[in-house]
Amino acid sequence: MNVSTRDADLHERDGTGGILSAPYRAATMGMVALISLIAFEALAVTTAMPTVARELDGVKLYALAFGGVLATSIIGMTLSGRWSDGRGPAPAIWTGLAGFVAGLLIAGLAPTMPVLLLGRLVQGFGAGCLFPALYVIVGRLYPESMRPKVFASFSAGWVIPALIGPAISGAIVEHAGWRWVFLAVPVLAVPAAIALRGALRMMERPASPPPVQPGRMRHAVGASLGACLLFVAGQEHGWLAAALFLPAIALLVGCGRQLLPRGTLSLARGLPSVIALRGVAASAFFGTEAFLPLMFSHEHDMSPLGSGLAISGGALGWFCGSWYQGHYATISRQALLRRGTATMLAGTILAALGTFHGMPVAASIAGWAFTGLGMGMAYATVSVVTLSMSSTQDQGTNSSALQLCESLMVAATLAIGGSLFAALLTVSYPLAFAANFAITTALAALGIIVARRTDATR
């Protein structure tokens, strides 16, 4: 039985029973558990890393401990997309799980900061392999009518760790030691992945694998190197920062465009604009989120707890938007994209106005929750539309491109925004905040334009 026949059989099974009905329960729970663990680990490491850097005398490698994960995930995403299309998602899932777990163990047992950095690099590669393969499982296992609900459950897998992850991580660091932030996750990750075995066994290798694209992995390595250089440049000053920043952007743009579908950067109608929208929307959201806690603290004298609760409003909004698109939306997917991006723009403007002292901070917090609501609608819908526009033979490549576009654009936005913020900080804090939020507001506005180009029939 070839993969198209097997997928047709799968899609005929219990199409109205829900994503937790018998044919789908193990796969749904396994995928959501994996996503939750990856999200928890990412947030937990953010909390634990200051302690890690101090104990291992590794402050100079602090930026790479974060940037390296993003960089090697680019390689993992690219490889995962190619494997998933040519051999099915199973090799990418098991390679990704092995890399993720091995990286966590290396980092958790690291005697020095360079060894911990090596673990983070391996971990990033593993996580990068997992995400496109999970999307391919959604595309091949679930009927199209169920996919919005699956991606809504994925959002829940991110939101819950966002709400409780930092607090749990802090308690682990304080009472058990920072190493357990890394060592505890593999115990749960392996059973979560094993739950996918049944679904993976039913997904045979495609009958006609897509042609190999020469040079694709070389471009992935180049983009990965560019991402690393961006994070290193962010810790430097003066001429050295500029010397690193310029080639980093050149590598990201030059190599990144080779990894994306033709027409993505020129916003061609249809799938290229769908993929571009993921990068634009994510850049607007995460670029704003990176500076909101500091703005709340510096301009409104909010405590760390208060700032954290305010940021959590965006995560809750994201979950609500994603849940709405998966369970209650009665409009078309393209209309959802337009509604989501418009909501994001309004929320980003309102949140950014908190830069000015005359703006009530409550309005800024509400604006951020509104931004999250729009992001939840748009983010999950982009995933659904990408799969609906993909054939079985290119689901992996297109899912990989979706993740790559997000990673590359967010890295570039954070680097540019951070550099501009640092340059203006000596002049005025409000000016530095306003400049960064101007970039993210422009990206949110661009999202509305791109959303209108996602419908290939118009």
Domains in the chain: boundaries: 1-205, 264-458
Report the topology of domain 1-205.
Growth Hormone; Chain: A; (1.20.1250)
Of the candidates 255, 414, 318, 419, the residue with the CA atom closest to the CA atom of residue 39: 318
pTM (two decimals):
0.86
Q: What is the Cα–Cα distance from 452 to 374, expressed in whole angstroms?
A: 15
Sign of CA dihedral 265, 271, 277, 280: negative
Q: What is the Cα–Cα distance from 136 to 197, expressed in whole angstroms?
A: 14
Residue 208 has a pLDDT of 61
User: Within its chain, how far is the Cα of 338 from the centroid?
Assistant: 21
Burial of 261 (0-12, 13-18, 19+ CB in 10 A): buried
Query: Tens digit of pLDDT per residue, the chain (458 long)?
Result: 344 434 444 444 444 568 988 889 999 999 999 998 888 888 777 778 878 888 888 877 776 787 788 889 999 999 999 888 888 899 999 999 999 999 999 999 999 999 999 999 999 999 999 999 999 999 999 999 999 999 999 988 888 787 777 778 778 888 888 899 899 888 888 888 888 888 888 776 666 666 666 688 899 999 999 888 887 777 677 777 778 888 988 998 899 889 999 999 999 999 999 999 999 999 999 999 888 888 888 888 887 677 777 888 888 999 999 999 998 888 899 999 999 999 999 999 999 998 887 788 899 999 999 999 999 999 999 999 999 999 888 889 999 999 999 988 988 888 888 778 877 878 888 888 899 999 999 999 999 999 999 987 76
Burial of 178 (0-12, 13-18, 19+ CB in 10 A): buried
Residue 404 has a pLDDT of 93
Of the candidates 123, 75, 118, the residue with the CA atom closest to the CA atom of residue 99: 123
Q: Cβ distance 156 to 32 under 8 Å? A: yes
Q: Cβ distance 276 to 450 under 8 Å? A: yes
Q: Is 359 helix (H, G, I), strand (E, B) or coil?
A: coil
- Domain 264-458 class in CATH: mainly alpha
Burial of 277 (0-12, 13-18, 19+ CB in 10 A): buried
52's CB contacts (< 8 A; 6+ apart) are 58, 65, 113, 116, 178
Fold match, 1-205 / 264-458 = yes
442's CB contacts (< 8 A; 6+ apart) are none
Query: Taking the CA atoms of the chain, what radius of gyration do you get in angstroms?
Result: 21
Residue 9 has a pLDDT of 45
Q: Which helix (H) or strand (E) holds 356?
A: none
